[in-house]
Structure 1
């Protein structure tokens, strides 16, 4: 009896949804077809139930092939992990030929395919295999219902499933509407205002201006200016840096603030920014600034959301987000000017901060406590390592940056003062610091000091052509022509395409 098969299908579907946390992917009440899904230990079970009559095995095979093609075409609905696919056919009679021998292909996403053909005769035995495979108990079916009761019960079950589906859809929609854009806009405005002030009163690409406005400057942090970890989050080095970060903040901030709510969003943003700043303090001795650490923290927040909502994550942003994160990290590794330590630190910090805040309406008291303990332990460790690095002279790099800018601004006395302090503990930057100091000495007519510095530079780095060239100029000024020729020739040999080096060498060789 047709209506009895209908009732069986909708009763079984409702049992899986209401009692075993299966979710409805697709539902067609007129065609009597429904798709369900459930995650179990990292694997997804997708169940397709349909009331259909197949007289021959080939008809069944064509239907399965059609469904496999639909899955491939709508692959975004089936992302997020490995999948077992279960076909459940409800019918009064089975195909007349041997359908059990059907060979169904799998792929990298579909690990296993099961076919259950539940005709009236086989419902008991094959139904048992279905329940065992899905690890659910058998639903209770009434023994005696008349046709009218079967029909009314089927209509009721369809309506209940429709209601459950709408409820789940509403819950998913609410996940992305926990907050409105508030702090994202405020952060954008504040960053633009501060950048405008920097450009109005100085130059945002100037190291000295950045330090004055609160950039991450390790020597100052060591002296107690820990507030720079936060203030550096609002400074940007040039318009391109600002625009790139603000574009990322707008898109990521919109997503995170809507998922987590405004209060959780700003909490995650600042905790991630602090974490990224301390990672930079620990790993990067250069002067640094930018919102990148906090912005990568928003990536971390979305990854945490993906951990808690895998299916929804991969159906919406999943693979695209992972690709963007990978590209940004790779870019940071390839381009040395990028503070990759702040990026990775912000990513980790954002993930941990999301553990602390937790997602709205999802309990997680133990994970929150764990997040707090992990965060405190890691920021303490990074601060301690950063302080210890200072004792090893790791911050000569920052002084090198400052001296270069002072020379560009023709503040030679200050450049000499900065480099003289730095060379007392130069770490790996002794040659570069001495080269800068020698140039500053030469500009204030202290040629003896400049020559001594350059002689030490060529001892440390014999391949630095610029040092040989400058040393040749000083020897030429002091009429020490043999020494001048030697260094000029070495500079020309090291950089044969440099016309200035070649011209000086030729000029000295032509002097009698």
Structure 2
């Protein structure tokens, strides 16, 4: 009779794996123990099935505790969704003493435990109880075969199950080994070479050098230099910026290129870089450079992979990746110098680009053309919003240009009125607006207001030599020669080539 129960177990498992595609987590053919998993109705059902005769209640209790401990030790394998644990025992007879309430102590635990004891008398009802939450039909297992026939079929079923487990593991591993990180290494080399070249001809921390060699500079883009959206992804501001981005590119790029292949990786990387650059143009008025937008696009590509392979994603990288993205976005929000627009834009662009190209070995989906339209529409919208200055301070920049011309025309009252209104929402141009208003105040004879504005300008933009010079003139006029000399010295230091600055500095230094 031992063969009959063993046959029943392996036939049941064979049906679940080959007909209903259960994942084989573990197989021990010699001890007759199998672990299976499948997600059904947003619940992860984990099954531990074994062929074992348990004669006493305490033996069953020990088996339940062992199985529950094994589940918790491998808890990381079952992330995502609510977890249900099913323990199935197949044997000829149930335990001698009362055993039905042994599972009650597990009812209050975090992971529910369901017990199915399939003795010869109860196996049909127990099988029905097991398959009901798994949402599968109960199979007809032929138990009338001769014992010799059952025994003869067991090696084949065991072999097929072990083979299925190996195939499932190889299929999962092949997902992460579709391509080779060739383009990743090319991008690393190009970024490093560009950095070294800029250090030779100037400095990567010099705004002038960065603008000259293709950084994202909104006024130039407004004049038609749209290529800066792409070229800025190859420039970096200082060694630390380069090192951090290249470190991220090495790890993320290698992972994404292995999953998607080189061609898809290229589309995702550059599409994310362009999307992040355009988001930066729309939101951030400052000069910007770096591969961060494209790198955040690689985060987006991995998130898209997670949508397609939820279980595999959560088992391998899921929560860790989400935490890293959250930390980076939070860091960008808290630190003003970080171009958060490029980061979030790159993340969205990378996810959308991944939907456009999809994963390898997948049939064309209806939503892929929709993803292309979404990407193109979002890019067009960001171009429009960037040009109109709704978010990036372009309106304030135009006001700065306007009041500069009005000062040249000596329309000082208009300058004061326009700048005062614009300073309610300066959009990153507070120092420039205050400087032009201080000049208008100075020319209108309102020296106290001019001095107050210049003090604010210096606190916001301490490297603006003209502000120090004008304040030195005002302080000299008020007889505060010591303070005037300090400001004149700073102006001469910031701009040593300006003859007026040097002359005033020498005059006050005497």
TM bracket, shorter-chain basis:
0.7 to 0.9
Cross-structure match for 2:219: 219
Cross-structure match for 1:458: 452
Rounded Cα–Cα distance in structure 2 between residues aligned with 1:65 and 1:451: 89
Rounded Cα–Cα distance in structure 2 between residues aligned with 1:70 and 1:398: 67
Rounded Cα–Cα distance in structure 2 between residues aligned with 1:342 and 1:258: 25
Aligned partners of 1:270 and 1:294 also within 8 Å: yes
Cross-structure match for 1:94: 94
Rounded Cα–Cα distance in structure 2 between residues aligned with 1:71 and 1:15: 23
Q: 1:131 to 1:453 in 2, by over 3 A?
A: farther
Cross-structure match for 1:297: 297
Cross-structure match for 1:433: 432
Determine if the alignment matches structure 1 residue 105 to structure 2 residue 106: yes
SS in 1 for 2:368: helix
Cross-structure match for 1:82: 82
Rounded Cα–Cα distance in structure 2 between residues aligned with 1:458 and 1:105: 73
Aligned partners of 1:434 and 1:457 also within 8 Å: no
Aligned partners of 1:55 and 1:96 also within 8 Å: yes
Determine if the alignment matches structure 1 residue 176 to structure 2 residue 176: yes
Determine if the alignment matches structure 1 residue 260 to structure 2 residue 260: yes
Cross-structure match for 2:373: 373
SS in 2 for 1:47: strand
Cross-structure match for 2:346: 346
Spell out the pairing of 1:166-245 with structure 2 (5 A cutoff).
Answer: 166-245=166-245
Rounded Cα–Cα distance in structure 1 between residues aligned with 2:9 and 2:25: 16
Gaps of 5+ in 2: 401-414, 488-510
Cross-structure match for 2:499: none
Rounded Cα–Cα distance in structure 1 between residues aligned with 2:176 and 2:448: 62
Rounded Cα–Cα distance in structure 2 between residues aligned with 1:246 and 1:271: 18
SS in 2 for 1:279: helix
Cross-structure match for 1:37: 37
Spell out the pairing of 1:375-390 with structure 2 (5 A cutoff).
Answer: 375-389=375-389
Aligned partners of 2:293 and 2:346 also within 8 Å: yes
Cross-structure match for 1:406: none
Cross-structure match for 2:497: none
Cross-structure match for 2:6: 6
Aligned partners of 2:283 and 2:386 also within 8 Å: yes
SS in 2 for 1:271: helix
Q: 1:69 to 1:457 in 2, by over 3 A?
A: farther
Rounded Cα–Cα distance in structure 2 between residues aligned with 1:63 and 1:326: 41
Rounded Cα–Cα distance in structure 2 between residues aligned with 1:460 and 1:472: 6
Gaps of 5+ in 1: 401-419, 442-446, 492-512
Determine if the alignment matches structure 1 residue 477 to structure 2 residue 472: no
SS in 1 for 2:106: coil
Q: 1:238 to 1:452 in 2, by over 3 A?
A: farther
Aligned partners of 2:387 and 2:394 also within 8 Å: no
Cross-structure match for 2:65: 65
Cα offset for 1:31?
Answer: 0.8
Cα offset for 1:96?
Answer: 2.0
How large is the RMSD of aligned CA atoms in angstroms?
Answer: 3.3
Rounded Cα–Cα distance in structure 2 between residues aligned with 1:454 and 1:432: 18
Task: Judge which range, 136-145 or 48-57, deviates more.
Answer: 136-145
Cα offset for 1:106?
Answer: 6.0
Cα deviation code 1:212-233 (max 9, x no counterpart):
1111111111221111111111
Rounded Cα–Cα distance in structure 2 between residues aligned with 1:234 and 1:454: 47
Rounded Cα–Cα distance in structure 1 between residues aligned with 2:215 and 2:299: 23
Task: Judge which range, 248-257 or 39-48, deviates more.
Answer: 39-48
Rounded Cα–Cα distance in structure 1 between residues aligned with 2:390 and 2:239: 31
Rounded Cα–Cα distance in structure 2 between residues aligned with 1:58 and 1:363: 53
Determine if the alignment matches structure 1 residue 359 to structure 2 residue 359: yes
Aligned partners of 1:438 and 1:453 also within 8 Å: no
Cross-structure match for 1:505: none
Spell out the pairing of 1:138-157 with structure 2 (5 A cutoff).
Answer: 138-157=138-157
Determine if the alignment matches structure 1 residue 126 to structure 2 residue 120: no
Cα offset for 1:52?
Answer: 1.1
SS in 1 for 2:114: strand
Q: 1:69 to 1:398 in 2, by over 3 A?
A: farther
Q: 1:451 to 1:65 in 2, by over 3 A?
A: farther
Q: TM-score, normalised by structure 1?
A: 0.82
Cα deviation code 1:114-161 (max 9, x no counterpart):
111111000122211112221111222224222221111111111111
